[in-house]
Structure 1
Amino acid sequence: MSGDWPQTSVTGSNYLKGVLARELGAVVGFDNVTDDPEARQSAAADWSWQSKFMTYRGLEQPAADFVVRPRTTAEVERVVQIANDHVIPIVPRGGGSGTQGGTLAPYGGIALDLSRMTDIVEIDAESLIVTCQAGIDGPTLEAALNEQGLTLAHYPGSYHLGASIGGFVAARGSGVVSTKYGKAENQVLQLEAVLPPGRTLTTLRVPSHAAGPDLLQTLVGSEGTLGVITQLAMRIDPLPARREFLAFSFPDIFAGMEAGRLIMTSRLRPATIRLYDEADSVKLQEWVGTPFTGTLMVIMCDGSDELVAYETRAITELAEKAGGTSQGSEVGRIWWEGKYEPYAKGKLPQPPLMYGTFDQVARFSDLPAIYRAKKEVIEREFREYGARYTAHLSHWYDWGSMLYDRFYVDAPPEDPEEAMELHDRLWDAGITAGLANGGVLNDHHGVGIKLGRFMRPQLGVGFELLRELKDAWDPNGIMNPGKLGFGPPRGPRL
């Protein structure tokens, strides 16, 4: 047991904490249970603006009562049993790189830290499938695969911020080459998860089957509200033999959207398409060094020499048809080599700056109206605060794309309550404008606690059905309560 908690919490009002500490310590080892305030705050923190703002202002974040670090699925199963028996919340934590307050613990309980669950169970080179524990981070897994000429091909912005494979799947995460290789939800083939009251579910070995509803995709994107993902089998790919880069400028963002639409509806499969509006291309130049500002599209194709040659030629024709002007290959190469620079220390937005990333996803036919509506509402309704709006489109599908759009307020109110209120009003305005014009709430950052209030207006009767599913699988409401718009746990706080 870390710290002095067992000696100071075994009598009086802390008696239950002492009981739980000893029960949990007997399962995971006493060195892997702590109520140390710093550890609890660290387990609660993520990369959301709210969390960063509270840290910046020296405010205490909503944290669990103690942190538990299991090593195996069997240990997770026993922890869930204990928590369910006592009706104590469980907040799963991977790398803490989320942006939606998913690791905040407004009802206390157990922060279940999966960072010790890092085994690579199997690399099946014949089927191109890797099986691993949920706590392993992306770079560690990728390095092991690269040694065998393989890749997971999942490179999110959080890649070097500790993001775990379980987190990729739990939040339907996406990476820079998702246009070709898919999001985490497309790459996961099988998973193991612990559900209340402490039982382990293993989904079928393959996802494409006619054997009833798919339990795999029920847990994908559930953000720990139905159970704890402990192990995953992920599709992998051979490392590409060649990468080729293209870049185009356009008269405006809408011409670039049309170029992206033509490329995707022609069923070409570039690994990456990034389309930046004028404001975002300025940021890209400042952070990465791309030698162009204006509406910029960067494209990367990979694979065999023959495939890459065909795709780059066909894509160039379509981009030019939409009004694009080639900027050569070097712009794209600079972008690729510097793609993590925006996430480097000192470059990510930080308080006191106020910011938020919407990343709504929509059909091609809806994207122009969503961009116009959100830019107008942010910059018009919040003009007194100097609010700015920037956007790029970074993940493309057969049917549409997503807007990775942000608001910025350089000088938000000093008062914490006023700042939080302004932050939420900006989110309300932007999300509402997107939903009203055909957008879907979120593409790949998840919902967490930050966007939970939008789940009902987004889903309608579907939200009630989801809540009924939650109640059936987790009747005590202990699994990550308060997230995805779900309410508190049934039991009292510690």
Structure 2
Amino acid sequence: MELVGYTLAMFRSELENAVGKENVVDVEEKRKELSIDQSWITHMWNERKQPMATPYFIVRPSTTEEVSKVMIICNTYKVPVVPRGGGSGTAGGAATLYGGIVLDVTRMDKIIEIDHKSLVLTAQPGINGRVLEDLLNEQGLMLAHYPSSVDISTLGGYLAARGSGVMSTKYGKAEDMVLNIEVVLPDGRVIETLPTPNHACGPGMLQLFVGSEGTLGVITKVSMRLDPLPEVRLHRMIQFPTVSAGLAAGQEIMTNRLNPAVIRLYDPGSTEKSLNTTGVDLDGVYMVIMFDGFKELAEAQQKKVLDICIANGGTDLGEELGKHWWDTRYVAYKPPVHPAFPQMYGTPETVTTYANIEKLYYAKKKFVEETYKEWGAKYTAHFSHWYAWGTMIYDRFYIDHPPEDAEEAFRLHNEIWAECTRINLENGAVLNEHHGIGFKLGWFMREQYGEAFNVLLDIKKSIDPKGIMNPGKLGFGVW
């Protein structure tokens, strides 16, 4: 239902009464800017000046109570709500597919409490990642997440898409660090999950909302596990003769529970695209390893890992290159190094077991480079988040000169994504490890989940019967 005339004016008046006139923004340029996120498709569509579904307003609450009021109003008018933090997502999760409003939570940027005894942070969801980390570091603490988007992402955004940070191999993903959350439901009710994530009190409601990408409610308060800043960080760079040798070493490190904070294994293409953009000149397959914590323990773990790497054909290149990687780890994710329109690119990353990861890598590499040879397509990958049972592949395809026509470019982009996604699923992997689903991968949710998707849809319809929460994302339609 589209609001027009005095109905739209009344809707606006109610919003202004809830959050203040200055926090209901109708500036066309701002509405257009916040109608997209970092996904390639939305940027391409915008740059090609195609019609876009911009929101009625940008609404900027500062408290849980204000969020609740806004949700009651939008539920009454049946207006779509797209929650938004830093807008750093690459899956179209913050794109306004059906207009409505953008609920910008960046005014909700306060630290509520730091429990130094339990090492627990409680904060609002809109606090910027870099600001938060700097404040914690001043107190000898860290939220050991460190995503590549740290400068533009928010705490709530970490949870919305089950994000991974640089040190997830040791400290876990955002979903492992969260203890409890407060959520405003579509009808304005405010609920809070149990005070701890570990319990025997029935199903875990916490993880229902973590990763829901704003489709079930608005996260308004978060409690996260903290860690003390480590005594030391020990870095190393290892060269391997092949990707296979590097994967074998990584598997042995993880299955022996040697607890590295970081393992990143770069294939030759990713060495060129990522490592060499930081000022080094390398060629081949490389692994970056970091251990942190107490000096004696970190040194013992590192020694054992170096033995494993060498036994698998690795060559120890020492500390300097590893430390250089740590100091420049965000360079490849920022302009001018990070790929940007008009170049076409996509990151069909996933995670699977050690038994499947190598064949999956070669299958996607072959598909991209052979099928789209006429387009000059390139494929690169690194393996950056490791588990005791498997690893995540952060892979990317590039086409330097995509079609000029917006619809043709859209079609080509989706065609590559579709086949890469099916290769993931055919090799025992999932749709995504940490960038989220949004609308970019939503059309594959049924294919991944099968009949279980209808259970997710039943939950969505029960919590959000009018379908106003971030419609069109996670494969949920509109009704």
TM-score (norm 2): 0.98
1:261 aligns with 2:262: no
Match among 18, 22, 29 for residue 13 of structure 2:
22
| Alignment-derived partner of residue 114 in structure 2 | 123
Deviation at 1:326, TM superposition (A): 0.9
Deviation string, structure 1 residues 274-296 (Cα, Å, up to 9, x no partner): 00001110123431123422000
Q: What SS does structure 2 have at the residue aligned with 1:373? A: helix
Deviation at 1:344, TM superposition (A): 2.6
AA at the equivalent of 2:185: L
AA at the equivalent of 1:403: I
1:100 aligns with 2:82: no
AA at the equivalent of 2:366: E
Task: Give the superposed CA RMSD.
Answer: 1.1
CA distance in 2, matches of 1:114, 1:86: 21
1:472 aligns with 2:462: yes
Q: What SS does structure 2 have at the residue aligned with 1:299? A: strand
Deviation string, structure 1 residues 124-149 (Cα, Å, up to 9, x no partner): 01000000000001111111111110
AA at the equivalent of 2:399: V
| Alignment-derived partner of residue 150 in structure 2 | 159
| Alignment-derived partner of residue 451 in structure 1 | 441
Match among 185, 188, 191 for residue 181 of structure 2:
191
AA at the equivalent of 1:299: I
Match among 367, 387, 406 for residue 357 of structure 2:
367
CA distance in 2, matches of 1:62, 1:395: 36
Match among 273, 278, 283 for residue 268 of structure 2:
278
Structure 1 residue ranges (4+ consecutive) displaced by more than 6 angstroms after TM superposition:
none
Mapped contact 1:49–1:351 kept (Cα < 8 A): yes
| Alignment-derived partner of residue 385 in structure 2 | 395
Mapped contact 2:36–2:96 kept (Cα < 8 A): no
CA distance in 2, matches of 1:93, 1:156: 18
| Alignment-derived partner of residue 55 in structure 2 | 64
Q: What SS does structure 1 have at the residue aligned with 2:382? A: strand
Match among 314, 319, 327 for residue 304 of structure 2:
314
Deviation at 1:57, TM superposition (A): 2.5
Mapped contact 1:80–1:197 kept (Cα < 8 A): yes
Mapped contact 1:52–1:350 kept (Cα < 8 A): no
Match among 181, 192, 211 for residue 171 of structure 2:
181
Deviation at 1:249, TM superposition (A): 1.0
Deviation at 1:150, TM superposition (A): 0.3
Deviation at 1:247, TM superposition (A): 1.3
CA distance in 2, matches of 1:39, 1:16: 22
CA distance in 2, matches of 1:444, 1:265: 22
CA distance in 2, matches of 1:471, 1:388: 41
Q: What SS does structure 2 have at the residue aligned with 1:44? A: coil
CA distance in 2, matches of 1:352, 1:318: 43
Moved more, 50-59 or 361-370: 50-59
Q: What SS does structure 2 have at the residue aligned with 1:201? A: strand
Mapped contact 1:284–1:290 kept (Cα < 8 A): no
| Alignment-derived partner of residue 298 in structure 1 | 288
Mapped contact 1:285–1:293 kept (Cα < 8 A): no
CA distance in 1, matches of 2:435, 2:43: 16
TM-score (norm 1): 0.95
Deviation string, structure 1 residues 3-31 (Cα, Å, up to 9, x no partner): xxxxxxxxx94222101100000000011
Mapped contact 1:191–1:231 kept (Cα < 8 A): yes
Match among 347, 350, 360 for residue 340 of structure 2:
350
Deviation at 1:330, TM superposition (A): 1.1
Deviation at 1:153, TM superposition (A): 1.2
Mapped contact 1:51–1:61 kept (Cα < 8 A): no
Moved more, 132-141 or 318-327: 318-327
Deviation at 1:349, TM superposition (A): 0.6
Deviation at 1:60, TM superposition (A): 4.5
1:333 aligns with 2:330: no
Deviation string, structure 1 residues 458-478 (Cα, Å, up to 9, x no partner): 111111110010001100010
AA at the equivalent of 1:41: K
Moved more, 315-324 or 122-131: 315-324
Mapped contact 2:352–2:428 kept (Cα < 8 A): yes
Q: What SS does structure 2 have at the residue aligned with 1:361? A: strand
Deviation at 1:86, TM superposition (A): 1.0
AA at the equivalent of 2:467: G
Deviation string, structure 1 residues 411-442 (Cα, Å, up to 9, x no partner): 11111110000000010111111111111110
* Alignment length (residue pairs): 477
Identity of aligned residues (%): 50
1:324 aligns with 2:305: no
Match among 32, 57, 64 for residue 41 of structure 1:
32
| Alignment-derived partner of residue 424 in structure 1 | 414
CA distance in 2, matches of 1:211, 1:252: 48
| Alignment-derived partner of residue 87 in structure 1 | 78
